[in-house]
Amino acid sequence: MKESIIILTGGGPAPGINTVIGSITKAFLARGYRVLGLHGGYKGLFTPNPSYTEIDFVMADTIFNRGGSYLMMSRYKPTEEDYAGNFNHGLFQDNNIKLLVTIGGDDTASTANRVTKFLQARNYKISNIHVPKTIDNDLPLPLNTPTFGYHSAKAEGTRIATTVYEDARTSGIWFIVAAMGRSAGHLAIGIGSSCHYPMIIIPEMFNKTKITVDKIIKLSISSIVKRKLMGIPYGGIMLSEGVFHLLDEDELTATGVKFTFDEHGHPELGKIPKAQLFNDILEIELKKLGMNVKMRPIEIGYDIRCQAPISYDLLYCTQLGCGVYELYTRGESGCMVYVDTIGRIKPLYLKDFQDPKTGKIPPRRVDIEGDQAQGIYKHIVQYITPSDYEAAREYLSNPEEYDFHKILNW
């Protein structure tokens, strides 16, 4: 019987998944392997009738440049009971599977390591290689290497945000645009700066002060008033969903937000209408100040996860897919495939990223002190400074409280 590999996808979608699947398939088919694609993530390994597809060259060549994931995804995380009584050994034995390839986040990677050890303990020899993905760009890869899907998601987010900004200019109104990103602000600052939004609010900018709803609102009003002083009646506020991660419980309670959590314990921020929430709070504060500013909320999130990958991710994900074959032939297992900035393929290991005390991988955040971020906040973002105080008193009795640098203690 031919040797086989099996591929599964976990977590949420990211542009480039199909490119990885297609590239892995082409590499292994050319060496005589069968390639199986498992639907439903890890759930497929713990059911007596898993849904899987044998992927041939035509299918790989058809899907490699498409968005989404041909393999159905899930956030399923197997329990102790699953390992004890539900694991499908037959799937591996009957198909002579020698390599488990997983595409997902750190939870997907750690589960792959456990599945491999589980099989090896039962005298079934198998390797596993993980391909890390997230549009949030918060996995701390070496040399600030981006995670696949980030650039494509950012490009689509920029397209949407550009259209929104043109609507703001055309209609003479303001938009609050909330961007995905979990606890990091990479997408928000990437999209916001690409579109020259006059205010970009990310969690990393609160590095010298506690984040509060009041400060978020004051930053927004600071930008609105600054633009009024410039004679500009429109604008956009780009807000990272990551600010919710830093708000304390009292602040969250005051907003009326009630979190639900996914299978891995992550707050399901996608269920919360963040732009609408802050839009409503901001409108109330503007009315208190006697300012007539029309506001509209926009969410950027699920609509950027399944877009077709741009050229950058098509090439990057092709390299990652080919890298899976290269690492496998070198005898690597229990690792993540990594392609450095000059195209070299290397293995990375979860233990090198994990906090030794918690076992968790700390997210990579925006380098708020770096030249790129500082340049954006010095030259693109607009806000009240001391030179504006006198003119700003037309709108604010206490413009000092809306000074960008004082709010952030910068």
Q: In the structure encoding, which two tokens stand for residue 243, read together?
A: 């600010």
- Kindly report the pTM of this predicted structure: 0.91
Give the residue numbers annotated as catalytic, written as ranges. 136
**156-214 pLDDT tens trace:** 999 999 999 999 999 999 999 999 988 899 999 999 999 999 999 999 999 999 999 99
The pLDDT of residue 257: 64
Report, as an integer, the average pLDDT of 329-341. Answer: 94
Please say whether the beta carbons of 174 and 382 come within 8 A: no
Fold annotation for 4-148+309-348: Rossmann fold (3.40.50)
Report, as an integer, the average pLDDT of 278-299. Answer: 94
The pLDDT of residue 350: 80
Give the 3-state secondary structure of residue 115: helix
Give the 3-state secondary structure of residue 133: strand
Top pLDDT among 103 and 354 is at 103
**4-22 pLDDT tens trace:** 999 999 989 999 999 999 9
Please say whether the beta carbons of 147 and 132 come within 8 A: yes
Residues paired with 148 in a beta bridge: 133
The pLDDT of residue 249: 75
Report, as an integer, the average pLDDT of 346-360. Answer: 83
Report, as an integer, the average pLDDT of 378-399. Answer: 97
**114-148 pLDDT tens trace:** 888 888 888 899 999 999 999 999 989 998 899 99
**33-57 pLDDT tens trace:** 999 999 999 999 999 999 999 999 9
Where do the CATH 3.40.50.450 domains begin and end in the chain?
4-148+309-348
Quickly list DSSP for 53-71. EE--HHHHHHHTT-SS-SS
The pLDDT of residue 294: 95
Task: Name the pLDDT band for 254 (thresholds 50, 70, 90).
Answer: confident
Where do the CATH 3.40.50.460 domains begin and end in the chain?
151-306+365-408
Rounded to the nearest integer, the mean pLDDT of the chain is: 92
Quickly list DSSP for 220-268. HHHHHHHHHHTT---EEEEEETTHHHHS-HHHHHHHT----B-TTS-B-
What CATH number labels 151-306+365-408? 3.40.50.460
The pLDDT of residue 182: 84
Report, as an integer, the average pLDDT of 59-80. Answer: 94
Least confident of 59-63, 177-181, 351-355: 351-355
